[in-house]
Amino acid sequence: MFLTRRSTRLVSAEEALPGRDTPVLQHPVFHEIFGTRLDQPPAGTEVAHFGLGCFWGEEKMFWQTEGVKLTAVGYQGGHTPNPTYEEVCSGRTGHVEVVRVHFDPTMISYADLLQQFWEAHDPTQGMAQGNDVGTQYRSAIYTSNDEQAAEAARSAEVAAKAYAAAGYSKITTEIRPAPEFYYAEAYHQQYLEKNPNGYCPIHATGVTCRA
């Protein structure tokens, strides 16, 4: 992603930027695919949070998954309240770029989402994902309840064995109860949409496209 700082050391709470009282995303904001408000999840859904590298493409992967009813991207797992994108990219907030996934458990299980999570990135890279280097790109699963925590632990054990058998290093995925989720700026939501100029926000203007 743009503006990446290559910080691979997690900051402490004392070192973190102070942030602000006001969220960077002011609701109501509507999901451009589902047509529903980001802060009003559909009835009967459960929520999951995944950090697996740059959130631009990963959100699209999840919203295209059958049984997922709403997605959003944001920041989680750090110290700075209501951080901006630039602050997260500086490595001075401790946050991870994450995708919030609201899913219908009668259509897709949390275990299925975990399988998708493991297959969509390399969880052995530590504070990086591919060419994206920084603490904001670390692999993370933030669980919403005890059942998710148990399922995540089981899936991590299976994944660790699979990666070891394939000759990879140990998985570095952070698994813990979900800390506060801060919505990312509007132009990051539902970011990837191909057009003649490259990949651009599908509902924002004046933002540079990328090939």
Average pLDDT over residues 77-86: 98
The rounded distance, in Å, linking the Cα atoms of 6 and 131 is: 10
| Domains detected in the chain | 47-200 (3.30.1060.10)
What local confidence, expressed as pLDDT, does residue 191 receive? 85
For residue 119, the SS3 value is: helix
Does residue 114 carry a pLDDT above 70?
yes
Task: Read off the pLDDT of residues 176-205 as tens digits, 9 standing for 90 and up.
Answer: 999 999 999 999 999 855 454 544 555 444
Nearest residue to 123 via CA among 155, 149, 82, 147: 155
Q: Is 89 a catalytic residue?
A: no
Using a pLDDT cut of 70, give the percent of the chain over it: 88
**Active-site hit among 54, 89, 200, 209:** 54
